[in-house]
């Protein structure tokens, strides 16, 4: 099993996970995805959240910020959407995406687990 497949399975094992993807933010394409929600189209989410990541990177560049994004959090009334850029050499240009049910998930634990998964991801 590839590192990508393991990462997706690990992400889906987080309590409250609705859907997950590993996305290339240069192309906007999901390299892999898992989830069973009929209301969450992971291909659309991958493409749309690519624009979020690109916009934030552009803004940071314009502001002269020389920092790395740890994660981007979008809070909805019933869900959290967490975007975690991959910082390792082997995953540059990728991000992890997760939709999390707010009533079943723990945001702090989710952020911690995504950091661990991101650090071990090799694509």
Which of the four pLDDT bands, split at 50, 70 and 90, describes residue 1?
Answer: low
How confident is the prediction for the chain on average, in pLDDT? Answer: 93
In this prediction the pTM is 0.93
Residue with structure tokens 């990541």? 53
Which tokens in the block code for residue 118? 């991101």
Q: What is residue 6's predicted lDDT score, i.e. its pLDDT?
A: 94
Compute the residue count for the chain: 123
- Give the model confidence (pLDDT) of 67-118 as tens digits: 999 999 999 999 999 999 998 766 679 999 999 999 999 999 999 999 999 9
Q: What is residue 36's predicted lDDT score, i.e. its pLDDT?
A: 75
Q: What is the CATH number of the domain that holds 102?
A: 3.30.450.30
Question: From residue 117, how far is each of 27, 46, 108 by CA, in Å?
Answer: 22, 18, 14
Number of domains in the chain: 1
Boundaries of domain holding 57: 3-120
């Amino acid at each position: 099993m590839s590192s990508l497949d393991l990462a997706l399975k690990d992400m889906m094992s987080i309590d409250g996970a609705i859907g997950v993807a590993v996305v290339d933010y240069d192309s906007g394409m999901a390299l892999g995805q898992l989830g069973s929600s009929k209301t969450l189209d992971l291909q659309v989410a991958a493409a749309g959240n690519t624009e979020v990541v690109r916009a934030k990177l552009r803004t940071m560049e314009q502001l002269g910020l020389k920092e790395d994004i740890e994660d981007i959090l979008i809070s909805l009334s019933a869900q959290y959407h967490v975007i975690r850029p991959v910082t390792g050499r082997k995953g540059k240009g990728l991000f992890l995406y997760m939709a999390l049910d707010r009533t079943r998930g723990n945001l702090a634990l989710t952020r911690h687990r995504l950091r661990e998964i991101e650090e071990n991801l090799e694509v």
